[in-house]
Each structure stands twice: as structure tokens, then as C-alpha cells.
Amino acid sequence: MSGISDGRVVAVTGAGRGLGRAHALAFAAQGARVVVNDLGVALDGTPRTPDPTGTPRPDSPAAAVAAEIRAAGGEAIAHDADIATPEGAASLVTTALDAYGRLDTLVNNAGFLRDRMLVNLDEDDWDAVLRVHLKGHFLTLRHAAAHWRAESKAGRTPTARIVNTSSGAGLLGSVGQGNYSAAKAGIVALTLVAAAELARYGVQVNAIAPAARTRMTERAFAATMAAPATGFDAMAPDNVSPLVVWLGSAASEGVTGRVFETEGGRITVMDGWRPGPTLDKGARWTPAELGEAVHELLALAPPPGAVYGA
């Protein structure tokens, strides 16, 4: 196996199934040595009892994907810890360093769903989804970045890459997914901050907002989930991975702080929040004046994108 990722060591979280599995296989096919992380939880995050050191069980999804990579001639090791804990996130980095002597790319992908309308959303469901998506991204990013900062200060500036996973739900919102949408929006903001802070250490940070057929999207995309009998399967997770592999490679030099929406053969650079129409009175407004001004500005502004499911 050789290609754009030759010589690189890549850690992928949530890599036992779906998009993460596709990313791990794609990196390996391009020559990377891969740390395959997956806790093996159910769709709603119901856990198995994890090993705090990250030692994988023989029947774990992480172990299965790592074995699949090795069977195809690649190099991979499984990691079975909870990356939403400080110990688990730290062990992801140390596993890469112990096994391969380096870490070049971190792909944050792990997550699960607990969908509810807001009036029915329990605090536990809010906390659990924010924990795995947003805190899980933060902790792995923090530990990887600390390693790369140390390398940079030692005169070994890395060509390091982080690819975070947001969602269209985080960009536009999604009915019944207030917790998930908030977490995914937070990941975009985290990406922008990390790109600005870590550039000095040789680290580039980008995010993707993918659409693909996985356990997490079966209900949301029920009408379009079936793969076609022939032709291009636009919803296959494998379609997303080429962008992730490229962003995770040295070839993406100079691309950082960006969010890409990707589905099938389509890729879009997202614009994000930018100033739109503006009025400045130069003095304090009255409420009535502000109402007129807001209506005037809204008439000049493009309408917002529709919330998913609205």
C-alpha cells in the first residue's frame, strides 16, 4: 500500500463503523499507518465497559477494522478507550507514539445520537451528545496539539493535520436534534480557533460536514438510503474519505480553518458567518427605529438556509 499518505501515522476516532471505518481504510490504502479508535457503543451511546488503557478486545469494532487493514497488507493497531475522557484521549496519542514513533494526523469522527424534540430532551441526553461530539473533539485535539507543540519547540516542526467532523445540522440546524446541532456547531467554532492557535506549531485544522449512509443517518435519510442496484452510490461513506485523506496529508499545505460540505461527488467550501447588510445611525436607536432598521436590513439580506426537517 502506498500513496499520498506514505510514511504518515493517522489516528481516526469512531473508526469501527461507517465514515470512520471508511476513513481508516482509505488512509491505509494510501500508505498510512492507522490507529483505529472505537469504543463499540450502541447508536445511542450505550457503552460496553471500556478498558481505561485503550487495550482492544478481540471482538471490538476497532480490532476488526485494524485486522481488515492488516489483511490487505497495511499497518494498523486498534484502540478501545473512551476519547471523551482525558485518559482515553491521552492514550490515543501515546498508542500512536508507542506503536509507530510518531503522530501526523488526527481525524475526529466519533459520535452517537440521542434525538428528541427540545421540549422532550432530557439533560442527560444533552450532556451525553455534547460530551462525545464536542468534548471528544476537544480532548483528542488538545493532547495531539500538546505533542506537536513540544515537537515544534524542540526544533522538529511537524506537518500535522487535524480533520474534525461537523454536520449540516451544525451549519443550518436540524429539527429534533438540538443537542447534536449544538455540538456540531461548536465543532466548527473549535476548528476555527484551533486553526488560528496551532498554525505556529505546524498544525493545520479543518472540518468536514459530510452526508453519507451510516447507522446515525438511517432515520434522517430513510427515503434516500437505499443504494442503487447499478451506478454511482452517492450515499456511500467511501465518497467522503478522499477529502479527509487529502486534508490529512502533506499535500493540503496552506489549507486551514476551512469547513467543507461533502456528499457523493459534490464538495462545497462553506462561507460561514460573514457581515451582511449594515446600518449605523451613529447614535443610540429607539426601539421603534430599530424595528424599521431591522426590516430594512432583512429585505436586503439573503434568506437563511432551511433548517433540516422544518
User: What does the alpha-carbon distance between residue 177 and residue 182 come to, in Å, rounded to a whole number?
Assistant: 8
Q: How many CB atoms lie within 10 A of CB 102?
A: 16
User: What does the alpha-carbon distance between residue 112 and residue 132 come to, in Å, rounded to a whole number?
Assistant: 7
User: What does the alpha-carbon distance between residue 194 and residue 157 come to, in Å, rounded to a whole number?
Assistant: 17
The residue annotated as part of the active site, out of 167, 174, 181, 252, is: 167
Is 135 a catalytic site residue? no
Q: Please state the separation of Cα 310 from the chain's center in Å.
A: 24
Contact between residue 106 and residue 11 where contact means Cβ atoms under 8 Å apart? yes
Three-class secondary structure of residue 62 per DSSP: helix
Q: Using the 8-state DSSP alphabet, how is residue 183 labeled?
A: H
Amino acid making up residue 280: D
Is 180 a catalytic site residue? yes
Is 308 a catalytic site residue? no
The residue annotated as part of the active site, out of 174, 181, 184, 252, is: 184
The residue annotated as part of the active site, out of 5, 166, 180, 249, is: 180
User: What does the alpha-carbon distance between residue 28 and residue 54 come to, in Å, rounded to a whole number?
Assistant: 21
Q: Please state the separation of Cα 186 from the chain's center in Å.
A: 11
Question: Which residues are tagged catalytic?
Answer: 167, 180, 184
